[in-house]
Chains A and B, each alone.
Chain A
Amino acid sequence: MIEIRELNKHYNRNHVLKDISLDIREPGIYAILGPNGSGKTTLLKSIIGLVIPDNGSINVCGTKVSDTHLYRKEVSYLPQIARFPDNLRVFELIKLIKEIRNTEADESDLLKLFHLEPELKKRLRNLSGGTRQKVNMVLGFLFDTPLVILDEPTVSLDPVALGKFKKIISDKKQQGKIILYTTHIMSLVEEFSDKIILLLDGKIIFKGGLKEILDESGEKSLENAISQLVETNGQKGSIRG
């Protein structure tokens, strides 16, 4: 489904992605982890076509990302920051996204789930940060796509909304979708990630399941396992550098 080959990206002199190669074929939930500035968001944005890589190739659903925008019909994306046009109303925004994608979708279940029905006629600038994030969720989960990409989806969600978010993700997994997401919340990863992709300084230093990462590091908790892998690989990097 996603096939990345020798992907490189620089921002000015900063080498953000270094020869990344990655295959994601099996349905399931994939967590992309790593310290700040390790290239997580850049990797996700390269897959969705927002960032243009220096070299290397990305194929999504058999289509080369650099060739066409049409493959994005198969992808749902939830950005990290939810900011919308100030003067549009919530229902106008949902209508706009449906028009743009030219796809029919029924938002009523999602609106009910996040208790957004009373907000539908409100202007987006009048919504709180948390409500905006819920609107963001509705837009992100509105379409039935085989690939779902989420960039730190749980930021500014209250515990109730977080529970609902987890339910949606589990349902999507049951339906055989690929869910790719970044987060800093380790309990979330432990709870329902099938695979972990750990990035450090623009390189993948680990890819595998929860059990494998614990075995490889010899630690008992995911948090310690990641710290240990990051430190070991960081030291190797600095010795090499």
Chain B
Amino acid sequence: MSTHAVDIHANDDGHGHHHKETFVTKYIFSQDHKMIAKQYLITGTLMGIVGVMMSLMFRIQIAWPEEPNILFEALLGKWAPGGVMDADIYLALVTIHGTIMVFFVLTAGLSGTFSNLLIPYQIGARDMASGFINMLSYWIFFVSCIIMMSSLFLEAGPAAAGWTIYPPLSALPMAQPGSGWGMTLWLISMALFIAQSLLGSLNYIVTVINMRTKGMSMTRLPLTIWAFFVTAIIGVVSFPVLLSAALLLIMDRSFGTSFFLSDIFIQGEVLHYQGGSPVLFEHLFWFLGHPEVYIVILPAMGIVSEIMATNSRKPIFGYRAMVASILAIAFLSTIVWGHHMFVSGMNPFLGSVFTFTTLLIAIPSAVKAFNWITTIWKGNLQMNPAMLFSIGFVSTFITGGLTGIIVGDSALDINVHDTYFVIAHFHLVMGISAIYGMFAGIYHWYPKMFGRMMNKNLGYIHFWITAICAYGVFFPMHFIGMAGLPRRYYTNSAFPLFDDLTDVNIVITIFALIGGVVQLVYLYNFFGSIFFGKKATQNPWRSNTLEWTTPVEHVHGNWPGEIPHVYRWSYDYSKPGHDTDFVPQNVPLKEGEEELQH
């Protein structure tokens, strides 16, 4: 690992302007972690717009299945003849929505943005361990996005086998048109995505371990860094397994091997595959797939912990327990994947084991939730939009997390598996919660990223309407799930049994549409404030972490002079014996002042 970026400005007197930066090296092929963070954020936002638009389209389809819709005709063209959505494209929308939101928005958009932005800033480093690898990982991500998006324009449509791409459906073009070129592009795109994720994660791990400034011991790290660090480790451990699953699937699809396929008769002929098992694919997929939801949620947890402490003007409650629960969640996340497979045909004894490990995760999760609640107890809460989204995060995390003890219980899962109950559960606990964490992070670190403030009143409107719509969409969904409605149904009208669910589905869709439209307020605020926002001060939230000791104007190497040394943990808010209600990490201990022992 090259560390030249660390030392290169060690003796700088000024603002780093003597570096000749062209437009291309500054804005496009930048190796600066701040610029790469912004690139991830904006790319993730654009992908998010596509993902949310898709969800609105299939929600409209579920609520009003027979009615022609000009929106469909305009956006889907030949896939919505006369404005009526085709059943194959419905499945494609569901598939690409899931893929985009889980990987491109909540993994790359969230982790990529904030790990890149905050790791060097908060540990006191000039940049990432390798700026070049960092740049490389963004551009691989970019190519991966382009390939995924280009699959939308294929003649036969994009991948449509669900974001879990279970073979044989995903392996056989005769089973579904999307399993032709659409699935090929999906697999190539995901292979690149995994590559960028691994490069990024390695960089994060190396940077956190090696490049902390003087005094920044592991027990003084802000919880954000702990979360990003552990997330990167989970990514390095589990993403390669998805890569192997994708490669084996490519072999089955294109080179005639039989890893996942056996005894198949389709369209009047027997295929040659023999001896493979789709259950093997499910194991490989979920070996990443389940840690993946923690890759999504842990950074959000770190962000929320930091923002809640700052805006409560109070130390995070139970720092040690918070770190321990992050580690416990990370460890457990790698041994629970089988809870997605209780009724897959695997040995029921395995189901028992996975029920046990799965329900254990509730313990560190409960600890975290109670610690957040205790953090705001007797605080002096600054209700910035970032704080509102953090409180919203805890609320949806509890609501969604609690139903985890139903879907994680193998006996109960028999009846709710793959119904809307599951959809409601995971959207609340990792979809909405992680998005809230991301919004909270954006509102909080926007001044650091763009040197300007976002408009807080628009932020309030954005939060409250989003919060109401999120519950309006996903709370009733539990009930239609318990009524036995399976997910991924193009229309429910084939079953008169479900006719009495029509009005619930309409209510859900109306909330979804309002919730979708109100994101325009956010987009306006985000992009508008880049140019027209109020100029930010250096430390607008009166925060303790090191990023707020850097100047508002970005300089290459982060600090114009020496890197600050660290003398305390990052949560000395309202510490008795100090005049201000915050004591930044680079302020030495007063005479006789005791540092909190962890």
A and B together in one complex:
no
* A-binding residues in B (CB < 8 A): none
